[in-house]
């Protein structure tokens, strides 16, 4: 465990980390991009989930909608992960000690498991409901996804308010 702590301290003391942490513009700029990327992730996932719930875009086949929207989701997720990593390296031990930060990742893990279950199990019957009403399993997956991503956003914002830059 001590070697992991030593590694995180080395990361925090790296030139890149110190530049981001000490620059007057780098941390806020990266954080702004991170927030925009997360908004894109959440918004695009909400479009898909609301279709799964039968509340929006019901005239479009689910397969078509997801094929158009999910590349934006994955691109924005990659950008959010990159920016989040750059923010994290400025104070990794402090972030890991933060309950809200850890809870955000717990909700992301739940969203990932939900997505995996949907892809492997719930979407098997897609051909039966692609143009019509989604199956109960698809509705449950969409509802859980919304709840989990709301949890991610909620705890991400709490992290922002509990992690004051310069502490």
CA distances from 102 to 15, 120, 155 (A): 26, 27, 9
Picking from 141, 124, 127, 166, the residue whose alpha carbon sits closest to that of residue 50 is 141
pLDDT digit string, tens, across residues 17-60: 999 999 999 999 999 999 999 999 999 999 999 999 999 988 89
In whole angstroms, give the CA distance from residue 85 to residue 97. Answer: 16
Structural domain contains residue 72: yes
Structural domain boundaries enclosing 23: 2-162
Contacting residues for 37 by C-beta, under 8 A, at least 6 apart: 76, 77, 79, 80, 83
Structural domain contains residue 9: yes
Residue 125 is predicted with a pLDDT of 79
Is the pTM higher than 0.95? no
Structural domain contains residue 131: yes
Q: Which of 15-29, 33-47, 113-127, 144-158 has the lowest mean pLDDT?
A: 113-127
Structural domain contains residue 138: yes
Structural domain contains residue 19: yes
Q: How many domains does the chain have?
A: 1
- Classify residue 96 as left (phi > 0), alpha (psi -120 to 50) or beta: alpha
Structural domain contains residue 167: no
Query: Does the structure show a pLDDT above 70 at 164?
Result: no
Residue 161 is predicted with a pLDDT of 85
Structural domain contains residue 122: yes
Structural domain contains residue 119: yes
Average pLDDT of the residues in 75-97: 96
């Amino acid at each position: 465990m001590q070697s992991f702590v030593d590694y995180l301290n080395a990361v925090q003391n790296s030139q890149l980390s110190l530049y981001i942490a000490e620059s007057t513009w780098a941390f806020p700029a990266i954080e702004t991009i991170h927030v925009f990327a997360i908004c894109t992730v959440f918004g695009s996932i909400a479009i898909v989930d609301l279709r799964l719930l039968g509340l929006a875009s019901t005239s479009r086949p689910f397969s078509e909608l997801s094929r158009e929207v999910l590349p934006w989701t994955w691109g924005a997720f990659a950008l959010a992960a990159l920016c989040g990593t750059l923010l994290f390296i400025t104070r990794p031990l402090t972030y890991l000690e933060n309950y809200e930060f850890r809870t955000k990742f717990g909700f992301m893990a739940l969203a990932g498991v939900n997505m995996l279950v949907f892809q492997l199990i719930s979407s098997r019957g897609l051909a039966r409901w692609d143009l019509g009403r989604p199956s109960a399993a698809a509705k449950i997956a969409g509802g859980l996804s919304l709840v989990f991503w709301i949890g991610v956003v909620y705890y991400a914002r709490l992290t922002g308010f509990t992690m004051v830059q310069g502490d």
